[in-house]
Copies of this chain bind each other. A is one copy, B any other.
Amino acid sequence: MNLSIIIIGDEILLGRVTDTNSGLIARTFTPLGWNIKRIRTVGDNGVDIASAINESLAESELVITTGGLGPTRDDITKSVMMDIFGGSLVHNAEVAANVEAVFARRQLKMNELTASQAMVPSSAKIIENLVGTAPIMVFERQGRMLVAMPGVPAETRGMLPSVAKVIAEHFGSQELTPRQEFTVTGIIESALAERLSRFEDSMPKGFKLAYLPSAKRILLRLEGTPGASTELFEDQCRKLVEALGEYMSAQGDVPTAAIVLERLRKNKLTLATAESCTGGNIAHLLTLVPGSSDVFNGGVVSYANEVKTNILGVDSQTLATEGAVSEATVLKMLSGAKAACRAQCAVATSGIAGPGGAVPGKPVGTVWIGASTPQGTDVRLWQFGGDRQAVIDRASATAFDMLLRLL
């Protein structure tokens, strides 16, 4: 069955806020057998919201919207829903109590606008929002279902399990397509496609292999025909893993930082970071992973040379003769980070993220990256393309890659 997603809000349409809700919804419902049909993003505009809903209901059994439910005047989703599904605004005592409780918990003052969130269309079933104030509304028409969720990402994340339960009760469970994902790192898409071409040619009819690339890694998704035997599907998975060889990092969609942490945990090792041009991004990616604290001791963002000298023990002699962006500096950053954070492993970066800072022989994108474990130390010079953000992203991903190869 099809699922269409609608993201409502000028802040998304105009690029002021990056939508992460649609991805979360897709990742939640794909494994349950739903086919994600399309994502539509529209502004806070009644006509556009209505046509997106009607188009979605025409193509999909299930439609989930997020956004457009805030307390301010430009949020008009409720009235559009009533145009489509009928009903009128009625006061809901449970929602009102919840709004009051949320405000009390956050020690905030309620006002009239907030109180208006307790007015809900009579045509909707309500799922109480345990994370925020805007209620979740469920509409039905001819067996099809529309669920309207608030746009705040933490509320979508928090409430999606309850929503999924209501949806499962309505639709029952679906025939699952055999599907397995593989996280691949250290190889570019075209080289990977060449490497896998024999495997792809030999796949049974109806099997599909999809490349889902990002700046950091490629996710491969192998799909069997619905109802394919477990043996046949698992046999294909084995063949794919064989063809991937050393580039296969993990079964499933696993962030590289989580793979690094798991590998360290298994080897009973701890990690420190010393970041110059990546500016804390590596530490940030590690600490986004729940439970990282038992492996990741901490790190230093050594933007100024004084910090490199004072905390990491890079001597001013090295900085003066070799420069901050050099093999010698990164080697000292590695040992300095291990010592300062009492860790057995470290990664370190020093480079020019741009747009300024380039010097003759060291253009923007020049980055020295080091990784060190009890097994050895590897320091290499890289030249990354793209802008500041791209250099930071690629240097971080490469640091993880280099560390993984030492583990």
List chain A positions with a Cβ less than 8 A from chain B: 7, 9-20, 22-27, 30, 36-44, 48, 52, 70-74, 105-106, 108-114, 131-132, 152-155, 157-158, 188-194, 200, 209-215, 219, 221, 253, 270, 273, 275, 278-284, 286-288, 290-293, 296-304, 306-307, 310-311, 340-342, 353-357, 383, 385-390, 392
Residue of B nearest to A36 (CB): B13
Q: If the complex has contacts A18-B20, A23-B15, A212-B14, are A72 and B307 also in contact, measured as CB distance less than 8 A?
A: no
Q: Which residues of the partner chain B approach A7 to less than 8 Å between Cβ atoms?
A: 39
Chain A contact surface mostly = mixed
Q: In angstroms, how far is the closest chain B Cβ from the Cβ of A28?
A: 8
Q: Looking at the complex, which one of B157, B281, B304 makes contact with A293 (CB distance below 8 Å)? A: B304
Docked-complex contact A194 and B298, CB < 8 angstroms: no
Q: Looking at the complex, which one of B153, B300, B386 makes contact with A390 (CB distance below 8 Å)? A: B153
Q: In angstroms, how far is the closest chain B Cβ from the Cβ of A95?
A: 15
Docked-complex contact A288 and B392, CB < 8 angstroms: yes
Quick one: copies of this chain in the complex? 2
Given contacts A280-B301, A304-B341, A311-B311, 13 further A-B contacts (CB under 8 A): A9-B212, A11-B213, A15-B24, A15-B30, A22-B41, A70-B190, A154-B215, A154-B385, A283-B283, A287-B353, A287-B392, A288-B388, A296-B303
Which residue of A72, A108, A281, A296 has the most chain B CB atoms within 10 A of its CB atom? Answer: A72
Docked-complex contact A304 and B297, CB < 8 angstroms: yes
Enumerate the 7 nearest inter-chain pairs by beta-carbon distance, A residue then B residue, closest first.
Answer: A279-B287, A280-B283, A15-B23, A15-B26, A154-B386, A11-B212, A39-B41
Q: If the complex has contacts A15-B23, A113-B190, A190-B111, are A297 and B287 also in contact, measured as CB distance less than 8 A?
A: no
Docked-complex contact A298 and B303, CB < 8 angstroms: yes
User: How far, in angstroms, from A158 to B365 measured CA to CA in the complex?
Assistant: 14
Q: Which residues of the partner chain B approach A48 to less than 8 Å between Cβ atoms?
A: 37-38
Q: In angstroms, how far is the closest chain B Cβ from the Cβ of A166?
A: 20
Q: In angstroms, how far is the closest chain B Cβ from the Cβ of A54?
A: 13
Q: Looking at the complex, which one of B37, B41, B281, B297 makes contact with A303 (CB distance below 8 Å)? A: B297
